[in-house]
Chains A and B, each alone.
Chain A
Amino acid sequence: MAHVFNFPDVGEGIHEGRVVEWLVAEGETVAEDQPLLKVETDKAVVELPSPNAGTVLVLHVPADSAIEVGDALVTIGEAGEALPESESKKDSPRLVEVPAVAVAEVTPVAPVSGQRRRLATPRTRALARKLRVDLEAIQGSGAGGRITDEDVQRAAEAPATPVAPGSTAVPVGIAEVTANGEVERVPVSHLRKTIAGAMRASKQISAHVTHVEEADVTDLFEHYRTVKASVEASGGRFTLLPFFIKALVTVLKDYPIFNASVDEERGEILLKKYYNIGIAVDTPEGLIVPVIKDADRKDMVELAAEIVDLAGRARERKLMLDELRGGSCTITNIGPLGGVFATPIINQPELAIVGLHKIQDRPVVVDGEIVIRKMMYMSISFDHRWIDGAEGARFMTDLVNLVAKPGLLMARL
C-alpha cells in the first residue's frame, strides 16, 4: 500500500518552506527514519525522516521548490506498485502552476471549496477586522487550518501584504526598483525574508531608543584570564560572554520591566519570572537568535558550553525550533567585529536588547592620573513606550558597575 508523505506541520506558525535537496531518489529503498530530504523553513534547515520503510515511488516536488504544509512530498510503497490516480506525479497541486488558460481545461473533481469560510473563532475574526487582515488571504497554523490570533497578528505585521487590485504596487515615496545596468538577480532566502519582516515589524511596533554607557572591564578581563585557563584545562571553551549574561540577568532581576513583554490588547505587562537570554549569532545565511533557557540557574561554565553548542548548530542551521523561541531579553555581541557602538533592534516581543561593543585599551583618568584601562561601550536599545529614558540610564549604570567589579558580580550570584 503506497503512502503519500506530506510536508508536516512542524509548529510555530511555520507553514511554508523550500526543498533544499533530496537525499533519496525514485526507486531507492528507504528504511524507517532514514532522512529523505532537507527542508529550509523560516528558521532552520531540517531533515525530514521517512515515516516508514519501503521504496520511493514518486518525488512530488523537485529540489529548490517552495512547499506548504500539507503538500505531498513523496510517495513510499512497494517496488512496482501501481499508483492511485490521484497520487501520480502530474496531479501534484504545486506543479499545476500553469497559465490561467491551461487551468481552465482542468475539470475539478469536487466543487471548489473556495467559498467555504476559513476556520476561525469569533474572537479571532473580530481581531482580523480590527487589524484589517483578510482571513481569506492567510494560512491558518492551527488544527485543520484553523486561523489563530497569532496568525492574524503575524499577517498584520507582515511587510508584504498582497496589493489590492487597482491600487498602486509602489507606495508613494518609495523608489521603484529598477535595473539601470548589469545586475545579478539573487532569490531572497526564507531566512532573509523572515529577518526582514521581523526587523521592519520591530521598528514599526516599538519606540526604539538606545542608551550607551562606558564600562571599565580591566578587572573583569583579568579575572576572566585567570579562570579561562583552568576551565579550558578540563575541556571546552570559556569566553567572556557568560560574565555579561550573568551581569545582565542580575540587573534584570532589579529592573523587571527590561525582562518583559506587553499584551497591548489586554493592557497588561508580562513581567517574566524566567531569564531566557537570546544570543544573536551571525551565520553565513543571516542572523539567528538561539535562546539560552534559564540563564539564571546555570553557572558560567555551563553557559559557555551552551553558547558554543547553540552558535555552532545555528551556523549549521540545525537548531530545533524550541531553541529559537521563548526569549525574555537578548544580547548582541557585536564588539569583536568592530565599531564604536551600535543601535541594535529589539527582538520582539521583548522590550530590550543589550549590545556589547569592542573592548579596547584606552587612556582614562583614574584618581587624577592618566592610566591605560580596558574599556568598552555597552548599549541598550529599549522600547520607550513602556520604559523611560531615566530607567534605561539607571539600568545601564548598574550593569556597567557589575561588569566593572567582578567581585560585586560574584556577590550577587
Chain B
Amino acid sequence: MVVGSVSRGCQVVVIGAGPGGYVAALRLAQLGKDVILVDKGPRLGGVCLNVGCIPSKALIHAADLAYEVRHGEQMGLSVDGLRVDLPKMVAWKDGIVDRLTGGVEFLCSKNGVEVVYGSARFLTDRSLEVAGKDGMLEVQFESAVIATGSSAMQLPNLPFDGERVIGSTEALSLQEVPERLVVVGAGYIGLELGTVYAKLGSEVTVVEFLPEILPGLDRDAAKTLQRRLKKLKIKLLLNHRAVSHDDGEDPALVAIGPDDQEIRIPADLVMMSVGRVPRTADLGLEAVGVATDDKGFITVNDRQQTSVPGIYAVGDVAGGMLLAHKAYQEAKVAAEVIAGEPAAFDNVAIPAVVYTDPEVAWTGLTENEAVEQGYEVVTGTFNFKASGRAMSLEATDGFVKAIADAGTQQLLGVVAVGRGVSEFIGEATLALEMGAFLEDVALTIHPHPSMSEAFQEAVEAALGKAVHQVNK
C-alpha cells in the first residue's frame, strides 16, 4: 500500500476479524459479495482465537492433566517429580493459536476476502478510513458490518500495569506460575483461569463483589461448583469489593468485606476479570449516528441492523451474551440479510459453557426464568454420583437438570455440571430448537457409558420414569 490516502470501493466492509467478523466476511464472499475485512492485527481471529476461548482451553486442558496425574493415586498412578514447564506450555498454546489464526487467513484468501490491517473509523454512512502502518486507506462501501468485539473492563482504582495487575490476555502467557494469585471477579473468565493456576500450583483467591459466583446461574450448579473450588483449595471471597493494589514490600490486593472491614490479600499477581466492555471507541459511530445502549453496546434488531441503514453489528459489540458462537450466528444472519435473503436471528436457545472443573453448561431457560415466564415448571435431575461413566473418569461431581413445562411437557432448558458436559449441551440445544417434548429425549437412545446419558436420565426423572435412580 502506498503512503498517503488511497481510495477504494467494495460492496461490504467488515470491521474486526474475530468470530463475528471473519464469519461474516466469509459468508458474504460465499454469497458473491466483494468484501474487505479490516482488522487491527497482527493476527486474525480476534479475542477468541488469540487471547480467549482457544488459548484458555489449551491451558485448562494442560492444567487438568497435571492435576489428574498428581491425583491419580487411587487409580494406581503415582508420579514423582512432575515438573510444570510453563514457558513450554505457553509455547504449545501459541502454536495452536498460530495454526488457527493461519487457518482463518487461509480461508479468507481462498474465499477472495481482502484483508486490510489497520484501525477503521467511519467518515460517513458509506465510507470509512483505515489507518494502517503504511498509511491511510479510504473505503467506500454499500454495507458495513461492525464486529469489533469487546475488551476486558478495567477498574479505575485497579488499572492494568501489565506486570502485577493484569487482565486475562496476559494471564494466558505467563512465564512462571505465580505463588499467590488473586483473581478479581468470579465470572467465567476469573473462575476458569483461577482454576488453571490453582491446578498448576498457585495459591488462588477469588474476590467477588456480588454475593454469588456466575450471577444468574442455576443455584444447584453454583453450589456444586463452589464445593469443587473449595476442594481445589481456591479461596472464594464473596461480597468483597477490590479497592486497590499495594505494590510495596508485601504486595497485596486490598478489598473491603461485607462488614466494611478492609482486608489485605497477599498477591504476587492480580488478575482482573470484572467484565467486558464493547470496543466502539474511535470507530466514529457518533459521526454516522449508530445508536448504542447505556452500556455502549450497539443496538441491533433481529436482522443485525443498526439504527443506520446499511450498517450492521454482530458479536460482542452488539451486546447480549458475549459468546463466539452467538457471534457466528449473528454474522451469518447479517451476511444473508445483506445478500437479500430473509434471515433473522430467531434462535430459541444459545448454549453457554464455563470450562471450570467441573464444566458448567446451560441452554434455554433456567428454572427461575421459566417460573418468571409463567410456566408451571417440572424438573428432573440426574446426579453423576450414580453414573458409571463419571465414576470411571473419577469425576462424579455434578448433575444434569432438565427443565420443562409441566402442562405440555415441552423441554424448556437444561443445566449440566460435570466433566465434559460442554460436549452434549449442543444436543440439548438441538432438542430445544426442534421444540422437543420430554418424551422425545426420553425415547432417544443415548450411548452407554457416556456422560450424555445423564441428559436422558434427567428427562426420564422429570417424567417420573427414571430407571437408574429412585423416582421422587
Given A122-B433, A129-B343, A143-B437, A117-B374 contact (CB < 8 Å): no
Complex Cα–Cα for A115 and B372 (A): 12
Complex Cα–Cα for A121 and B346 (A): 11
A103-137 near B? 1/0 per residue, CB < 8 Å: 00000001111011101111001100110100000
Give the distance to chain B from A146, nearest Cβ to Cβ, in Å.
Answer: 6
* A336 contacts B by Cβ under 8 Å: no
Complex Cα–Cα for A120 and B346 (A): 11
Complex Cα–Cα for A112 and B409 (A): 18
* A338 contacts B by Cβ under 8 Å: no
Residues of A within 8 A of B343 (CB): 126, 129
Complex Cα–Cα for A369 and B373 (A): 86
Whether A144 and B437, one on each chain, are in contact in the complex, defined by CB atoms closer than 8 angstroms, is yes
Give the distance to chain A from B399, nearest Cβ to Cβ, in Å.
Answer: 27
Count B-side interface residues using an 8 Å CB cutoff: 16
Complex Cα–Cα for A111 and B372 (A): 9
Whether A113 and B435, one on each chain, are in contact in the complex, defined by CB atoms closer than 8 angstroms, is no
B336-364 interface with A by 8 A CB criterion: 342-344, 346-348
Complex Cα–Cα for A123 and B433 (A): 10
Whether B374 and A112, one on each chain, are in contact in the complex, defined by CB atoms closer than 8 angstroms, is yes
Of A119, A121, A129, A132, the contact of B410 (CB 8 Å cutoff): A119
Q: How many A-B residue pairs have CB under 8 A?
A: 34
Residues of B within 8 A of A144 (CB): 408-410, 435, 437
Whether B373 and A111, one on each chain, are in contact in the complex, defined by CB atoms closer than 8 angstroms, is yes
Give the distance to chain B from A133, nearest Cβ to Cβ, in Å.
Answer: 11
Given A110-B374, A111-B374, A113-B374, A120-B344 contact (CB < 8 Å): no
A141-154 near B? 1/0 per residue, CB < 8 Å: 00110100000000
Residues of B within 8 A of A111 (CB): 373-374
Given A111-B373, A130-B342, A117-B348 contact (CB < 8 Å): yes
* B467 contacts A by Cβ under 8 Å: no
Give the distance to chain A from B102, nearest Cβ to Cβ, in Å.
Answer: 32
Residues of B within 8 A of A120 (CB): 435
* B434 contacts A by Cβ under 8 Å: yes
Give the distance to chain A from B326, nearest Cβ to Cβ, in Å.
Answer: 15
Complex Cα–Cα for A146 and B346 (A): 16
Considering only CB atoms, which chain B residue lies closest to A131 in the complex?
A: B342
B235-278 interface with A by 8 A CB criterion: none
Residues of A within 8 A of B410 (CB): 119, 144
Complex Cα–Cα for A31 and B346 (A): 49
B399-434 near A? 1/0 per residue, CB < 8 Å: 000000000111000000000000000000000011
Considering only CB atoms, which chain A residue lies closest to B343 in the complex?
A: A129
Complex Cα–Cα for A159 and B383 (A): 53
Residues of B within 8 A of A112 (CB): 374
Interface range, A side: 10 to 19
Complex Cα–Cα for A111 and B375 (A): 8
Given A112-B374, A113-B374, A119-B342 contact (CB < 8 Å): no
Given A112-B374, A113-B374, A121-B344 contact (CB < 8 Å): no
Residues of B within 8 A of A129 (CB): 342-344, 346
Given A110-B374, A116-B373, A144-B437, A125-B346 contact (CB < 8 Å): yes
Give the distance to chain B from A108, nearest Cβ to Cβ, in Å.
Answer: 10
Considering only CB atoms, which chain A residue lies closest to B372 in the complex?
A: A111
Of B344, B347, B348, B435, the contact of A146 (CB 8 Å cutoff): B435
Complex Cα–Cα for A129 and B348 (A): 15
Considering only CB atoms, which chain A residue lies closest to B439 in the complex?
A: A143
Complex Cα–Cα for A119 and B437 (A): 11
Complex Cα–Cα for A121 and B348 (A): 9
Complex Cα–Cα for A62 and B410 (A): 33
Residues of A within 8 A of B374 (CB): 110-113
Given A110-B374, A111-B373, A112-B374, A121-B435 contact (CB < 8 Å): yes
Complex Cα–Cα for A129 and B343 (A): 7
Give the distance to chain A from B372, nearest Cβ to Cβ, in Å.
Answer: 9
Residues of A within 8 A of B376 (CB): 110
Complex Cα–Cα for A113 and B347 (A): 19
B318-348 near A? 1/0 per residue, CB < 8 Å: 0000000000000000000000001110111
Complex Cα–Cα for A126 and B433 (A): 12
Residues of B within 8 A of A121 (CB): 433-435
B31-65 near A? 1/0 per residue, CB < 8 Å: 00000000000000000000000000000000000
B416-460 near A? 1/0 per residue, CB < 8 Å: 000000000000000001110100000000000000000000000
Complex Cα–Cα for A110 and B433 (A): 25
Considering only CB atoms, which chain B residue lies closest to A111 in the complex?
A: B374
Considering only CB atoms, which chain A residue lies closest to B374 in the complex?
A: A111
Considering only CB atoms, which chain B residue lies closest to A120 in the complex?
A: B435
Give the distance to chain A from B374, nearest Cβ to Cβ, in Å.
Answer: 3
Residues of B within 8 A of A116 (CB): 373
Give the distance to chain B from A130, nearest Cβ to Cβ, in Å.
Answer: 5
Complex Cα–Cα for A143 and B435 (A): 10
Considering only CB atoms, which chain A residue lies closest to B433 in the complex?
A: A122
Considering only CB atoms, which chain B residue lies closest to A122 in the complex?
A: B433
Residues of A within 8 A of B346 (CB): 125, 129
Residues of B within 8 A of A122 (CB): 347, 433-434
Residues of A within 8 A of B344 (CB): 129
Complex Cα–Cα for A394 and B408 (A): 56
Give the distance to chain A from B24, nearest Cβ to Cβ, in Å.
Answer: 18
Complex Cα–Cα for A130 and B410 (A): 27
Give the distance to chain A from B364, nearest Cβ to Cβ, in Å.
Answer: 11
Q: Give me 21 A-to-B residue pairs in the complex whose CB atoms sit less than 8 angstroms apart, sorted by A's number.
A: A110-B374, A112-B374, A115-B373, A117-B348, A119-B410, A120-B435, A121-B434, A121-B435, A122-B433, A125-B346, A126-B342, A129-B342, A129-B343, A129-B346, A132-B342, A143-B437, A144-B408, A144-B410, A144-B435, A144-B437, A146-B435
With A110-B374, A110-B376, A129-B344 given, can you name 10 additional A-B contacts, CB distance below 8 Å?
A112-B374, A113-B374, A115-B373, A119-B435, A121-B433, A122-B433, A125-B346, A130-B342, A144-B410, A146-B435
The 6 closest A-B pairs by CB, nearest first: A111-B374, A119-B435, A129-B342, A130-B342, A121-B434, A122-B433
